[in-house]
Every structure is written in C-alpha cells, then in structure tokens.
Structure 1
Amino acid sequence: MSRALRALLAACLLPLVPACAPGSPDPLVVLGPWTGAEGEAFEAALTRLDDGTGRTYTYEGTRSLRETLVSQLEADTPPDVAILNSIGELTEYARRGRLRPLAAETATRAYRPWAPTLLVDGRLRSFWVPLKVDLKSLVWSREGASGEDPSWCVGLASQATSGWPGTDWVEDILLHQAGPTLYSEWATSRLGWRDPAVRRAWTTWARLLREGPGAPVERSLTTSYEGVSGPGGPRGLLDSPGFDCTHEHQSAFIRYLYAGEDVRVEPSARYLDGRAEYRGAFEVSGDMAAVFSDDPAAQELVERLSGPVGRQRWRAEADPAVRPLFPTTTGLPPTEPVSPVEREIDALLTSRARTLCFDASDVMPPELRDAFHRAVLAFFRDSSEAHLTSLLEQLDTVRVEVDKVSGATRSFRPPEDICASPGG
C-alpha cells in the first residue's frame, strides 16, 4: 500500500474530513515518537494548523520509530515529515540523499546544538529543525532529601532501547569531568573509547552507584525508567517499591511522573565529581523534524510547526505535565503560571546554562549507539576493571568499523560541533 493511499484511508475513517472529497490533495503524513497524552496534544495542534490551507495531516505516533521509518523507506513509502531524536540517524539519511534541505525560513530556526549544519556536495546545509527539546543534566529528589549522601534510583529497561539511562550517566559525567571539547570529539568518533578520560567516566559511574543502597542489579536491569506501575500507571522510580533510593539522574521529560508532587530538580554537576569550570555545561536532547518528501507543503508544515504559531498551539493543547519545552522562548507570549520545576528547567535551558551539548549517544551512528547501550547493561552487571577494558575495546572496534562503512568523503561531512551556548 502506498504512503498516499495509506494516509487517505486513515483520513477517511474520520467523520467529515474534507480530504476525502474528490480532487482534494492527499493528507501529509507525519511520523513521530509521541503516543498517549503527548501524541494526542501534538495531533490536536496539527489539526489546528490547517487554517484554510486545504491540506490535512495524518499523524502516526509510535514507540518503535526507527524500525517503522526503516521499513517505510525500504518499501519506498516514506512519510512526508518524520520527527527523530537521533542526529546520528538523521545524518545517515542525509548522506543517503533521503532528506530534503530545509527551506530558507525554517533553516534560520535550526538552532545549535540540536541542528548542526552538514557539508553536502560542497555546501553547508540544514536538514532538520528542533521542535521539542529537553534538558538532561538534572537530578530529581524529594523535598528535604539530603544531597550529601544520595542513593541512586536506576531503571535501565526501555523496550528496544534498554540501556540509555545508563549512557546518559556516562555522557553527563564525561562532559563535567573533561569538558565540552573532549566530549564533542568522543561523541563524533574523533576520540577513542579507551581514552583515559572516557574510562574515568565509566568508573566514576560505578563508584557513585556503589555508594548507596539503590536497588538490586537485576531489578534495575528489568525495571523501566518510568518505575513500577500501580493502579494509576507508572509511579516513577522515587515512588517505586524495591527501590531504596533518594535521587534520580534523569531528563526533564520525566516531570510528567512527578507532576504536583513534592519533588525538586537541580543541575547534576555537583554530584558527578566534575571540575568547577564545567558546571555551566548541560547535556540536552531533542525531537527534530526532517522532510522526506518533495511536496512543498511538507516544507510549509515544518516551517509552521517550528514557528511561534505552531509552538503556541502545541502548548495550548498539552497538559501541564507534558507541555513541550522549546530551544528558545523568543517569539512566545507569556503563558499561564507554570510549576516551579518547569520554571527552573526553562531558565536553565534558555539562559542560565553556559554551554549546551547534544546527547552523545544520539550523535553516534545507530550501530555504535546500540553497542553503547548494550555495553552499559553489561557493565552494570560486572563493573570490574578487566570487564571494562574488554567492553571499551569492543566499542572502539565498532567505532572503527562504522567509520570505514560510512566514512566521510570530500562531498560530505557529518557534524562535529555539537555544543553551543543557549539560544543557538
């Protein structure tokens, strides 16, 4: 079934959708990572973006985003727009000629470090734009919990991408111990995994986790980052039975689990045995929109989604606990009062941080990123020096092999500068 036919059939299942009328243009298909309340809010914002343009939009939300997109590309039925969180994957699609360069107006919103430019056929081009972003270098705890002797909550299970909460730990530690320059070199494969600074980040993580009771190893390996589910859904690791923990290292998105509770958030730097000059550095992630279609309306949709109107409508549709954060607040009107947690995160993200660096594993090619995830899980079980040496050697082997297969040519260069000041 073609992409256009699939989208048209989906639209015709909805009552009174004008796209089903004879001669109407096909709905644009948007593939993205949001489901549940997040997906509903984004889909509602998409619907309100029509504004009489005559185009309608079909949103396909999935937790298996990479697998879904790969299968659609193999069937030559790509979405018009896809929203991905991996610069490594986006870079690969650009290298293979599957992405369309952004239109000029949208390219001005390709804020670094979420959207670095690529050298393609001798020209620096922008191929994706951040829609929603998150701050990662954060620690969550209960109000009143002492930060002097934390015991850490760790849940590493996440379906096909288990292990990423552990890679976030290693990345954040390396950023604060070695600084943005070395961090960037490592994330973009210009620095090997056996470098002493990289090894120290792994051993620091193991030492921090050994200092408190936390939870048994197998429980952490098999429990989701959302924690144990109760009658009302996920409870968060701070509330989950079997986790004797006081602090959690997790991205800003986790606030939906603790909305309205007596939970505080603070920068992670002071917990990571880092250097004082790097306390203003923060790791970030993002969900970026890229165009896979030659339909001009796909470019127009990304331009509207990334602009003030799209942002305002998305925020208006979203519940406070899943309200999106943006790379800059420029052009946004004041909103209704927000929680102290959201206010703190937004201030760090847009003004108080000195340097923002994109999530290192999401910069890496998918094969290397996946090997990193697996290595973290193996290290969590056995953090001995000998085992770590073996794991780092294996990761270096994968790094070299991936570089051979997808190495840069004279006409193409992947991004290298993945850190920037707030505001791009």
Structure 2
Amino acid sequence: MSRPEPRTLAIVAVCLALVAGAVVVLSSLRPQPSITVLANWSGDNEALFRTSVIAPFEKKYGVHVIYQGTTAESQVLKADVEAGTPPDIVVLPGPGELADYARMGKLQPVEDLVDQRGYSQGRQTWMSRLDVGGGGSHNYWFPLKTDLKSIVWHPSSVPGDRLTAAKTASRDWCLGMGSDATSGWPATDWIEDILLQQSGWQVYQQWATGRIRWQDPHVEQAWRTWQQMVGAGQNAQTERALRNDYSAASAGVTANPPICRLEHQASFIRTDPPWRNGKGDFVASAQLIPHARPSRTWEVSGDLAAMFRRTTGTADFVRYLASKDTQQTWSLQQHGFSADTDVPVSAYGGDQTTHKLAETLRDSTAVHCFDGSDAMPPAMRDAFVQAALTFLARPDTLATQLGTLDAVQRSQPKTTWLQSVCDRT
C-alpha cells in the first residue's frame, strides 16, 4: 500500500475539522428538551420557586422548565385542558379537582416516582389512591408542600383570658375574604374547621365526601357558630371582611389603635409582618370555638403536584420534586412544610413557633383532615364558596343557601367524590 501524499493528508484533516464543526453547530441548534409547569405562585413565591427549585433542576438534568404562575389557576387549567394543551405538570391545592382530571383519564400515576416511605404517615390525607379505570388504584399526586390549619394567631402579649373572651367578641377577629380569582376560601376554612372541632372527624369526613346533607344539624350548627363568632350580618364587620384581601387582614393587629387581635388562618400567615419575628403566636382553634370537642384534630392543606404528560423530563421533575433534598431545600425557602417525615424539623431553622407547627403536622397520634372544600368536586367547592360569602353578608338566608348546596351535592355523581380526607378510616 502506498503512503498518502502530504497534500492528501491536509485535505482529509480539513474535511474532518469541517465535519467536527458541523457537529458542534448542529448540536447547538438542537432544541433543548422542555417541560411546562402551572402553579398558583407569583411574586416572591414564584421567584423562590424559580431560584431554589427550577434552576438547580435545569442545571442538573439539562431540561428547560417553562413556568406559568397565576392566581386563576383552576380557570387557566380548565381552558388549557379543553383546548388540548394542558401543562405537563400542575401544582394545585385541590385533590377534588385533581381527582376529576384523573377520572377523565388526563393524569398519569406517580407512585413509582415518589418514595412513599417518608409520605406514608397520613398517606390517606396526602396521597389518596383512585381506581379510575378498573385497572387498580393509583396515586395521581403528591404533596409538594403542606400547611396546618385549625389554628388562631394572636400577638404574644394577648393574655389568655382575652383569648377566651374572643369566643363571642366579633370585633377582635381580623377578617379578609379577598383572594383574586379564589376569593371566599377564608370563609369556607372557618366553617370547615368549626364543623371538625364541634362534631369530630367522622362527621367531617362524611360531609367532605358527600355522604351527609348540608342541612344536617351538625353542619348547620357550624354555620351558626361562625355567624356568632365573627358577627356575620353586622355592617361594619361584614364590610371590612368583604373589602379586605386575606393577605391584608392581619394589618389591623399593628394599627394604632389595633383594629383586631386574632386571625383564624393557616400556618403560612406566620411570615406576614404582624406575626413575624416572634411577635405572634398561635393556639389550637378548638380552644376558642364554642362547643368544640377536647381532641387533637387538625384541618390541613397542601399544594399537590400532578403529571398530565409522562416523558423522561416530566418523570425526572416529579422524582426531583419529591426527593428529600428538594423538599428540604424548598422548606427552607418558603412558608410551607414538607409532608416527608424524612425531612427533619431542624430544616425549618431555629424558630420555636415554626418547629411547633412542623411537629403538629407530623404528629402520628393526632388526626389530620384535608381542607374540605378543596377535596370536593369543583362545582361543589365553588357553590360552597359563593354560599359562604352570601351568608357572611346575609345570615338570614342560611336555609336557602344550605338547600341550594344540597341540590348541587345531589347533582354530583358519587364517583366524583373522594372516599377519604382524613388520616383515619
């Protein structure tokens, strides 16, 4: 075989260089894989999610995350699904709404992507299983973050006897019903919690799963108790509540003179100015609700992640979100708590109030029940919100409101309700 001429070698070398350069150019032109995520976080919360969760994922997996944050999440999601363009991943507060999509065949199971050992405590609350097609039951969501309800916030300086007097002192309550497209949920939180504390988790679970009527005496008593506690129908109280956004309600605590001293609100409110830096504390709402049972029963809520489309990228993202490391990082950055018991309480820093909230959320001897309206079918949830706002302004319409809610309940097929909302059966 003859040896190649130097000129031939030079030509070959140039060709190889050109091919290599073309490969680099083609690689740079190849579109980066991407996934879409819809959630209700905006502003500071969106910025935290992008920097502490999304950015590390993109760097590690080379997958671009297109995030959309909106307070009108349910409406946006419904429109996207109807248009055939749902997000790949959605984070919703309502298992009832997610169950609807699962029964439509829109959601993908996630149990193989989530290490359920850490989530096993309270699994019936956080990770309900559904059998939507006769192919066995599956988990279609997992809790990205959780919060404790059934609590009342107060300035640390308020004495115990003043807290007790608040059972009938409606002027003491900080009230705000506004929340953009989801206005009214603070009202349903009140009624749900009163029912839970007065009648126990068994009655609460029957009600939240559509097995007892809205005109049941236990349920009616809860509405009447709320009327008594917050002064429903009293012009000044009602106008203030309907005018205020929930996020501004506690501003009355630091007014001069104070407008209010107590707030029935979930654990996330602790980061608001009046309750921040140890100036606020909380008690179990059962201590202030008239005729409450002496039991450790808590209403809880959560932001639940679900998957509409399964690809390598979406599976990696769900697995990443559910991992201990991400749960711990996210817990350090925002105001919620991880449901993963493998995340230590120390992850929340050294604040005693925050530790107490985290420990209550994972107390295996207590009963935890998911937010009732969030667990209901969307049509039932929306009707409940509207009825609660109307009742706040016009408590004399209660019989009409409950009758309407019973009619909506009858219109919902039994298959649209969750079977359990509490971590007891």
Per the TM superposition, whether the score is higher than 0.5 is yes
Q: What is the aligned partner in structure 2 of residue 153 from structure 1?
A: 174
Correspondence list, 1:336-415, <5 A: 337-351=349-363, 354-384=366-396, 387-403=397-413, 407-408=414-415, 414-415=417-418
Shift of 1:239: 3.2
Alignment partner of 1:125 is 2:138: yes
1:52 corresponds to which of 53, 57, 60: 60
**Alpha carbons of structure 1 residues 280 and 39: separation in structure 2 relative to 1, 3 Å:** same
Q: Percent identity?
A: 32
> Which residues of structure 2 form unaligned runs of 5+?
1-26, 167-171
**Alpha carbons of structure 1 residues 21 and 186: separation in structure 2 relative to 1, 3 Å:** farther
**Counterpart-to-counterpart distance in 2, 1:86 and 1:118:** 15
**Counterpart-to-counterpart distance in 1, 2:97 and 2:113:** 24
Shift of 1:216: 2.7
Q: What is the aligned partner in structure 1 of residue 3 from structure 2?
A: none
Alignment partner of 1:295 is 2:311: yes
Please give the secondary structure, in 2, of the residue aligned with 1:388: helix
**Counterpart-to-counterpart distance in 2, 1:256 and 1:289:** 23
Letter matched to residue 356 of structure 1: H
Correspondence list, 1:411-422, <5 A: 414-420=417-423
**Counterpart-to-counterpart distance in 1, 2:256 and 2:188:** 24
**Alpha carbons of structure 1 residues 121 and 348: separation in structure 2 relative to 1, 3 Å:** same
**Counterpart-to-counterpart distance in 1, 2:148 and 2:378:** 22
Q: What is the aligned partner in structure 2 of residue 106 from structure 1?
A: 114
8 Å CA contact 2:71–2:181 kept in 1: the answer is: no
8 Å CA contact 1:368–1:399 kept in 2: the answer is: yes
Alignment partner of 1:328 is 2:354: no
Letter matched to residue 99 of structure 1: L
Please give the secondary structure, in 2, of the residue aligned with 1:186: helix
**Alpha carbons of structure 1 residues 48 and 276: separation in structure 2 relative to 1, 3 Å:** same
Correspondence list, 1:171-186, <5 A: 171-186=192-207
Shift of 1:414: 4.4
Q: What is the aligned partner in structure 2 of residue 38 from structure 1?
A: 45
Q: What is the aligned partner in structure 2 of residue 276 from structure 1?
A: 293
Q: What is the aligned partner in structure 2 of residue 3 from structure 1?
A: none
CA displacement 1:221-278 (0-9 Å, x = unmatched): 11111126xxxxxx6342357973221100111112132251111211111124434x
Q: What is the aligned partner in structure 2 of residue 134 from structure 1?
A: 147
**Counterpart-to-counterpart distance in 2, 1:97 and 1:398:** 24
Shift of 1:95: 0.7
Letter matched to residue 340 of structure 1: Q
Please identify the structure whose Cα radius of gyration is greater: 2
Alignment partner of 1:266 is 2:266: no
**Counterpart-to-counterpart distance in 2, 1:247 and 1:271:** 11
Shift of 1:215: 5.0
**Counterpart-to-counterpart distance in 1, 2:60 and 2:188:** 45
CA displacement 1:161-192 (0-9 Å, x = unmatched): 22111111110010011111111111111111
162-171 or 107-116, which deviates more: 107-116
Q: What is the aligned partner in structure 2 of residue 93 from structure 1?
A: 101
Letter matched to residue 148 of structure 2: L
**Alpha carbons of structure 1 residues 252 and 414: separation in structure 2 relative to 1, 3 Å:** same
Q: What's the Cα RMSD here?
A: 2.5
Please give the secondary structure, in 1, of the residue aligned with 2:137: strand
Query: TM (normalized to structure 1)?
Result: 0.84
Letter matched to residue 298 of structure 1: T
Alignment partner of 1:143 is 2:156: yes
**Alpha carbons of structure 1 residues 47 and 67: separation in structure 2 relative to 1, 3 Å:** same
CA displacement 1:303-338 (0-9 Å, x = unmatched): 11011121133245x2xxx34311133144843733
Please give the secondary structure, in 2, of the residue aligned with 1:297: helix
Aligned length in residues: 383
**Alpha carbons of structure 1 residues 125 and 38: separation in structure 2 relative to 1, 3 Å:** same
Q: What is the aligned partner in structure 2 of residue 252 from structure 1?
A: 267
CA displacement 1:20-40 (0-9 Å, x = unmatched): 942244211111111122111
Alignment partner of 1:306 is 2:327: no
**Alpha carbons of structure 1 residues 148 and 294: separation in structure 2 relative to 1, 3 Å:** closer
**Alpha carbons of structure 1 residues 29 and 332: separation in structure 2 relative to 1, 3 Å:** farther
Letter matched to residue 363 of structure 1: A
**Alpha carbons of structure 1 residues 274 and 112: separation in structure 2 relative to 1, 3 Å:** farther
361-370 or 145-154, which deviates more: 145-154
**Alpha carbons of structure 1 residues 200 and 333: separation in structure 2 relative to 1, 3 Å:** closer
8 Å CA contact 2:173–2:230 kept in 1: the answer is: yes
**Counterpart-to-counterpart distance in 2, 1:281 and 1:25:** 48
Please give the secondary structure, in 2, of the residue aligned with 1:419: coil
**Counterpart-to-counterpart distance in 2, 1:237 and 1:365:** 35
**Alpha carbons of structure 1 residues 194 and 115: separation in structure 2 relative to 1, 3 Å:** same
91-100 or 291-300, which deviates more: 291-300
Query: TM (normalized to structure 2)?
Result: 0.84
**Counterpart-to-counterpart distance in 2, 1:310 and 1:23:** 29
Shift of 1:390: 1.0
Q: What is the aligned partner in structure 1 of residue 9 from structure 2?
A: none
> Which residues of structure 1 form unaligned runs of 5+?
1-19, 229-234
Letter matched to residue 288 of structure 1: L
Alignment partner of 1:70 is 2:72: no
